[in-house]
Amino acid sequence: MINSRDKILSQIKQALVTKVPVPFLSTASIPELFQPTQKELEVEFAEHFTGLQGRFSFCIDESELVAQLMQLISNRNWKHIFCKEPDLQKLLLENGYHGEFTSELASCDLSITSCEYLVARTGSMILSSAALSGRTTSVYAPVHICIAKTNQLVYSIDEAIQKMTDKYGQDLPSMISLATGPSRTADIEKTLVVGVHGPKEVFCFLTDV
């Protein structure tokens, strides 16, 4: 006697053998759920990023970026910077940084990285394992500073993922993450706590192209 389980499995096997036309297109044009506002992307990103306790600074050019970054490093007395990206290391060394670049992520004062894109609608930074900074830099450092340019701004996460696909094709990075402000949780008695399982502070320095 055939039980219900065997009957269902039999029907599945038969369906796999007998191909039927797909009743819908493989790709569908779906309108964006969220429509861009009239604000400039820089403004919208800044509002959402700071609304989630991120610290944002817009710099007209590289000179202003360097001045603000070096002042922050000096004011905080940061001496041990984790930064694997040669262009960012050069930027600091050529503009008065006399500390060291440490290879010990667990004991650094902060990490400095670039990013793939910035998502204006959510105030998020798109990071990936394709960067020299790797997977863990923006997670384990107590402070994370991201350096980005205005041409990396997109409106939505969908747009960012599409650009990542266009950029890398079939060789997408094995890790793509969204960093949206400092880490936070409200697991314990619904009390919001910042910096439990990630950086306590996240900065974004955005400079014009």
Domain spans in the chain, listed from the N-terminal domain onward: 40-207
pLDDT of residue 191 exceeding 80, the answer is no
pLDDT in tens, 105-154: 888 999 999 999 999 999 999 999 998 887 788 788 999 999 999 999 99
In the chain, the largest separation of any two C-alpha atoms, in whole Å, equals 83
Contact 135, 198 (CB under 8 A): no
What integer pLDDT is reported at residue 16 of this predicted model? Answer: 63
Residue type, 40: E
Closest Cα to residue 33, out of 166, 155, 151?
A: 155
| C-alpha dihedral sign at 58, 194, 115, 154 | negative
DSSP label at 124?
Answer: E
- Indicate the fold that domain 40-207 takes in CATH: Rossmann fold (3.40.50)
Q: Given the DSSP bridges, would you call strands 201-207 and 184-185 parallel, antiparallel or unpaired? A: unpaired
Q: What is the pTM of this model?
A: 0.77
Contact 203, 55 (CB under 8 A): yes
